[in-house]
Structure formats: structure tokens, C-alpha cells
Structure 1
């Protein structure tokens, strides 16, 4: 049953570009009704954004973990499940916990 939500999402999803004509990298992680976007767009040291998978265009991105001028965002973890009221993002640097 673990793969069922992914298959259902894939069935409903339509392909849409996250960005075009931009000198930036973006990695997308689809989790339920959200897509988490780790990007260096407008953030050379990287940041984490979130969007609705049905509307993933840049103007719909919401920043969860902003760029830190003193550190590079190399990774993050989305904490979710029955113990959490809503998903939470965490990065291994101090002060980066952010509710999504």
C-alpha cells in the first residue's frame, strides 16, 4: 500500500515545467498535496520552497527555509506522519525548522 498515494498522484498529475530559461537548479520532492523544491534560484547557497503540484510555476512557490548567507543548504528532511499536525521541514543547521 505504500506506493498507492504516489500512483494516485501520478494519475492525476500533469506535466508542467518548474522553470524555463533560468540559470538555476531545482530538485523536486512530491509529498501528498505538496511539492518541496530545493533550489539555488535567487539563492546561490540554496533555499527550500513549497508549492502545490497542480500549480508548480515559480510565482506560486512559497519559501520555507530561506537562503543563509553563512551556510549552504545541502539537505533537508520532511517530518510527517501521525505524530505531526502538519508536515515540518528540517535542515541540519540550527534554527531551520519550518512548518509547511
Structure 2
């Protein structure tokens, strides 16, 4: 199932609401969460990096619609209005999907 979602992402060339560029994580699990959020109406606010570790940071406009229990990603509740509410990231923190 995970691979089907990732394949669909690649096939449909899911694009950022901001830049029109392809946003795909190297992590299949983050791609699944990202796709699910877009399908539920969430929107991309920003695509950037968060040095020193996070090479790909995607910020979503709204809080995550559901709680995702997926292996190979970490979930953290940040609750810092200056930054973001919560995040899913790879274990090594090189890729992060966060919500406002």
C-alpha cells in the first residue's frame, strides 16, 4: 500500500502550492503522510531546509488531520506558535513534515 501511494505521487507529479515544483521526500513514509494531508485539504505553506540537519522541510498550513502511526518516522508535538505545532521526521532528522 505504501508503495502505491508513492508511485501515485511520482505519476501525478504532485506539485507545491507555492513554487509549482515537485515535492517528494526520500522517505516513503513521509510521502504517505504528505499525500494523505493534501488529500484531506491541507496546503503547503513553505518548502525550505532547517539547518544543520534538516535538508527538506515542508510546512503545512493546518494541523495534521489525523494521527499517523507509521514505522520509520518520529512524531513530536512542538506546540511553539513561533515555529510549528507538530512534526513527523525521519529518524536522522534530514527530512521533516511539519504543521502550523
TM-score by length of 1: 0.32
| Larger gyration radius, structure 1 or structure 2 | 1
> Which has the bigger relative contact order, CA under 8 A and spacing at least 6?
2
Bigger helix fraction: 2
TM-score by length of 2: 0.32
